[in-house]
Amino acid sequence: MLVAMTEQAQRGRQRRRGEELEAALLEAAWQELVEVGYARLTMESVAVRAKTGVAVLYRRWPNKDDLVIAAIHYYGNTHPVEIPDTGSLRDDMIALLSVASAARVSFVAIITAAFSGLLSSTGLTPAQVREKVTADRPTWSADIFARAHERGEIDLDCIPPAVLTMPFDLMRHDMLMTYKPIPPERVLTIVDDLFMPLVARQTARHGHLRR
Amino acid sequence: MLVAMTEQAQRGRQRRRGEELEAALLEAAWQELVEVGYARLTMESVAVRAKTGVAVLYRRWPNKDDLVIAAIHYYGNTHPVEIPDTGSLRDDMIALLSVASAARVSFVAIITAAFSGLLSSTGLTPAQVREKVTADRPTWSADIFARAHERGEIDLDCIPPAVLTMPFDLMRHDMLMTYKPIPPERVLTIVDDLFMPLVARQTARHGHLRR
DNA sequence: TAAATAAGAGATTAATTCGTCTCTTATGAG
DNA sequence: CTCATAAGAGACGAATTAATCTCTTATTTA
């Protein structure tokens, strides 16, 4: 079938075809999206980067928006974030924030696209877009917290939900503001100065006390 | 002088001039920015909204980017956020976050602009744009923290800087993700579940301990 | 009142870019 | 080997828009 020849772009071939070509196109679109952003990404810039012509793009996707959406999807499916399991909550969080920050520049790309008018027609907010894209995937942090709970490191019943999402909220914030992965020092600050003090303090008050 | 006539756009006048006109132009640009976003804001759409021609815009700002930056600046200066002084840190924070969230949809507009191409033409990141626009203004929270320190409520020397910026980082994050002001419950969560526990815990460890 | 200034209106130019279309030729299927 | 398919390359039209320029006329100032 198709798969017969796609494994290796063996030399001798001058033209890519099928899945191999499509992957190259989506990869090029993704790179453009990350490097120059949705607004300055053009069909031709993608074609040039993929070393082909715009017609090849239009044969697959009817317009720029669909190409970008496909590229985001492609990246999400081919670059899964693996959840660390170091044995301690602190190290798990440091590892997860680091790897997620490095790998998930995708989030910035999505938001860039969203803000630039990609979804002005749908009327979705970035949060809704994020939900849509990450709907199928399980939450990264859920496993880590569950394990920490089982180890007795934390008591999930006593920790307000906002505490658990805070590190990732801050990560997204920083990435949006700087366009870059979070530096290691910042990860340590988030974990050691903000997160751990809030989850470690199990004694005393029983979470959620409002008023 | 100029001010002599600008107070009231008294009827009889058919053409606006000077400060009155400039304010109308910046107001129009701001409205466009908020309603349709940077990408879909055109010089003509601003001119039409201001009931004038594009030449009037170009007489004042050399290009679209400068107009948008001026509009953001204008909004910031004409809609100042007043810093609350309730007598307690907790209530000050709740009040400040509430009023800032309600008033500062501007931030979203800034980021929208930044993501949609403002930064590609200027080469700035959203954080840098934000710095540029808020450079002259003092930090909202500085006064509040200083007063709380003087009252003995907190010890600024023992609190990591990240703790002090965290509530506002989260506010920005939420506004970016939802396009809306932060709901009151979320403000209470940020203050009571995240911020206060971190600043109140003055005893024990002496902040900043890394490693 | 007379002259300088700039508003209002809009035509125009130049550049960008989306999307379509054509043509040649490498490639895979039978 | 032969043929249908689609890659590669690029020309092209249409639409948008930033930015300039022209001209008339209201308004201010001296």
pLDDT digits (tens, 9 = 90+) for A48-85: 999 999 999 999 999 888 898 889 888 888 888 788 99
Q: Does the beta carbon of A76 lie under 8 angstroms from any beta carbon of chain B? A: no
Q: Residue B56: which nucleotide is closest by CA–C1'? A: C7
**Which residues does chain B have within 8 Å of residue A164's beta carbon, measured at their own beta carbons?**
none
Question: Quick one: pLDDT at residue B132?
Answer: 65
A177 pLDDT above the threshold of 50: yes
Supply B155's token pair.
Answer: 């010890």
The Cα A120–Cα A98 span in angstroms is: 32
How many angstroms separate the first and last alpha carbons of chain B? Answer: 64
Q: Is A176 helix (H, G, I), strand (E, B) or coil?
A: helix
Question: What are the C-alpha distances in Å from B31 to residues A76, A123, A126, B47, B56?
Answer: 36, 18, 21, 12, 18
Shortest CA–C1' contact from A18: which nucleotide?
Answer: D6
pLDDT at A205: 43
Mean pLDDT of A146-156: 94
Mean pLDDT along residues A100-128: 66
β partners of residue B11: B13
pLDDT value at residue A34: 81
> What is the distance in angstroms between the Cα of B102 and the nearest Cα belonging to chain A?
18
- In this structure, which long-range contacts are made by residues A31-35, counting pairs with CB atoms below 8 Å and at least 24 apart in sequence? A33/A68, A33/A71, A33/A72, A33/A109, A33/A112, A33/A113, A34/A105, A34/A108, A34/A109
Contact A143, A89 (CB under 8 A): no
What is the pLDDT at residue B12?
61
Alpha-carbon torsion, ordered A134, A84, B163, A196, to 10 deg: 130
Task: Report pLDDT digits (tens) over A13-54.
Answer: 778 888 889 999 999 999 988 888 787 889 999 999 999 999
Distance CA A51, CA A73 (A): 22
Q: Encoding tokens for residue B75? A: 């909004």
> What domains sit in chain B, N to C, each tagged with a CATH number?
14-76 (1.10.10.60), 82-200 (1.10.357)
How far apart CA B38 and CA B112 sit, in angstroms, is 6
Q: Is B194 on the interface with A (CB under 8 A)?
A: yes
Query: Do the beta carbons of residue A133 and residue B166 sit within 8 Å?
Result: no
Please give the average per-residue pLDDT across A185-206, as a whole number. Answer: 82
- The closest CB to that of A194, out of B112, B162, B178, belongs to B162
Tens digits of per-residue pLDDT, A88-113? 999 999 999 998 887 766 677 776 66
Predicted confidence band of residue A153 (pLDDT cuts 50, 70, 90): very high
Task: Name which of B68, B125, B164, B166 to mutate to probe chain A: the one with the most chain A Cβ atoms within 10 A of its Cβ.
Answer: B166
- Partners of B13 in the beta sheet? B11
Residue A203 confidence (pLDDT) above 50:
no
Q: For position B1, what pLDDT does the model report? A: 36
Cα angle A188, A189, A192 (rounded to 5 degrees) comes to: 75
Per DSSP, helices labelled H in chain A are 3-6, 18-40, 43-49, 54-58, 64-78, 89-103, 105-113, 126-134, 140-151, 161-178, 184-188, 196-200
Model confidence, pTM: 0.77
Does strand D come within 7 Å of the CB of B59? Answer: no
- Over its length of 211 residues, how does chain B's per-residue pLDDT go in tens digits? 333 343 444 446 778 888 889 999 999 999 988 888 788 889 999 999 999 999 999 999 999 988 988 998 888 888 888 889 999 999 999 999 998 887 766 667 666 666 666 666 666 666 776 676 665 566 778 999 999 999 999 999 999 999 999 999 999 899 888 877 899 999 999 999 999 999 985 444 444 443 3
Got the DSSP string for A96-128? HHHHHHHHTHHHHHHHHHIIIIITTTTT--HHH
Q: In angstroms, rounded to a whole number, what is the distance separating the alpha carbons of residues A58 and A63?
A: 7
What pLDDT is stored for residue B169 in this prediction? Answer: 94
